[in-house]
Amino acid sequence: MSSVAPPELPPGSRQVAKGAGTALLARAGGVIEIVSQPLYVWLFGLPTYGLYMVLWSAVNLIENIADLGMTSALQRVVPQARDDAERAAALRQAMLLGLGPCILIALLASLGAHWIAGALNVAAKDRDELATGIAIFAWALPFWAYVEIATSALRARKAFGPEIRLRVMWEQILRMIAATMLAAFGAGTLGLLIAHLCSLAITCIFSTRLLARYYRLDLVLRGGGPSMRAKTFYAGISVLPSNIVNRLFSDAPPLVLNLIIPGAAGASAAGLFAIARKIASGVQLIRQAFSYVMAPLASEAVRHDIRHVAEIYGFATRLTIVVATPVVCTIVGGGRALLGFFGPGAQAAYLALALLTFIRLIEAVAGQASAIQSVISRYHHPLVGSAIGLAVSLALGALLLPEGGMDGMAIAVSAGITVSVVTPMIQLWHHQHIHPFAPPLARAAIVSVAVGVTIFLVSEVLSPFHHTVRAGIGVVLLIAGIWISGRLGLSHDDKLALGKTARKLRLL
């Protein structure tokens, strides 16, 4: 008798919860960044840190254009591949298309480092080493592109855990160790740039080792069929404009502030905005964790029935509200305490910090739509929200800058982000007839807002205390707030989907 394999089940809420939890740990490198940034300011000074953030923002921005959308393409193509050969062909195409332009741009930037240096505003002490730093740091571009494509390929195989070692141990902790050692040896401006480059190079090595566990690298080297190459190319190009706009919102502001404000003040303004953005990124980690999971799971679920996509869409949105709302209120309420770790001059960034953090809440809640849209909608649909959001941001920027400075930039960016993430939600509702607003969303929202307001008010009462004390109490409030929101805001079925986590935390 021949045995018949059981039918493949569609992904559900349990897989979303498990994958998002693992992905959130993988993105914990962003939390370490919040700790590491004050260290870099103390070691190298705010103007030098500002220069470093300008160059790193430029690398991030260029990478998201030059990789031709290959990181997003893998999320759509690999889960729908039929065998190892098709998965290998998709990875090969992504590496060729994504790395080729980055290597060429790095070479041109390295050769034209003196010309690029003349366009940047930096402190006098950084001017002498600026061109050398640009020539060296330009090679972070292909290294970073390789890491991004490799980790995206791992997520496409639903291997969310391996990023933990890459993002935390190698990319972040090693960078802090290298920067500290180089500063101790008097490396100056170049020390921070070299430390970053070394951490990326080592991360590339370990990324390759992990890829070998989930892909047939021998098949990657052989090549693949033209149909898979075409699918990968079109999947990447279709989301490339959206990726560019998202990266513009994140990395363009420090560059623009540096260009419109002369001298060391331009570098400092870029550094302050980067500090506000880094702290606010604590909320963005939640959105990224769910987006990383939602893209491959939605791509797989739509093969069964669109209703399965709606199920995981609603669950992810409810869980995001429960976790993100206390985080946002803790950051906004304790924002001045957090900025205190960067020195007294950092308090000027509070308004930008508060605004960016609140907008990141909207992005976290509505952002699941963008991830789903990128893998189940028509190729041109993601362009709409990105185009409208960018237009709104540019219009406000033209009105508010340069007079508005850092706060004007925060307003323009926040408005653009809001429009760009809400539009895909409306599109999914209109085109695919799915939305996350089914019960018990209202319950989760009401409980989370009540908890968040309480956290904010308590944080305000604590304002006379030293920033170290306030930050410590803020951590306690954050943990308690998330637990109460989960305990009271989630339904019984949602808690069951959390599995062992719900039982260990006594949410049930």
Residue 143 to residue 150: CA distance in whole angstroms: 11
Q: For residues 333 and 72, which has the higher predicted lDDT (pLDDT)?
A: 333
CA distance 345 to 146: 37
pLDDT of residue 418: 92
Q: Please compute the mean of the pLDDT values over residues 128-139 and round it to a whole number.
A: 88
Looking at the predicted structure, is the pLDDT value of residue 12 above 60?
A: no
C-alpha distance from residue 492 to each of 7, 320, 503 (Å): 28, 16, 12
Instruction: State how far Cα 508 lies from the chain centre.
Output: 31
CA distances from 248 to 167, 398, 413 (A): 22, 15, 9
pTM of the full predicted structure? 0.70
CB 53 within 8 A of CB 60: no
Select the more confidently predicted residue: 47 or 63. Answer: 63
pLDDT top residue among 290 and 483: 483
Q: How far apart are CA 452 and CA 481, in angstroms?
A: 7
DSSP 78: G
- Buried/exposed 203-234: b ≥16 CB within 10 Å, e otherwise: bbebbeebbeebbbeebbeeebeeebbebbbe
Averaged pLDDT, 194-207? 91
| DSSP category for residue 187 | -
Report residue 171's pLDDT band, with 50, 70 and 90 as the boundaries. confident
Distance, first Cα to last Cα, the chain: 45
Give pLDDT, residue 204. 92
Q: Which of 151-165, 228-242, 482-496 has the lowest mean pLDDT?
A: 151-165
State the pLDDT at residue 33.
67
Q: Who contacts 93 (Cβ-Cβ below 8 Å, separation ≥6)? A: 70, 224, 228, 229, 232, 233
Find the range with the poorest average confidence among 3-12, 131-140, 375-384, 473-482: 3-12
Integer-rounded Cα Rg, in Å, for the chain is 22
- Find where tokens 């998965």 sit: 87
How high is the pLDDT of residue 7? 45
For residue 1, the model assigns a pLDDT of 40
pLDDT at residue 328 is higher than 90: yes
Alpha helix locations (H) across 157-225?
A: 163-164, 174-184, 189-214, 217-222
Q: What is the pLDDT of residue 163?
A: 65
Give the per-residue pLDDT at 429: 86
Residue ranges per structural domain of the chain = 13-504
> What pLDDT does residue 4 have?
40
Region 255-276: what's the mean pLDDT?
80
pLDDT tens, residue by residue, 372-414: 877 676 767 777 888 899 999 999 999 998 888 888 999 999 9
Q: Given a cut of 60, is residue 27 above it in pLDDT?
A: no
Q: What is the DSSP letter of 170?
A: I
> Cis peptide leading into 402, omega within 30 of 0?
yes
Q: How far is CA 500 from CA 14, 143, 444, 506, in A?
A: 11, 38, 21, 10
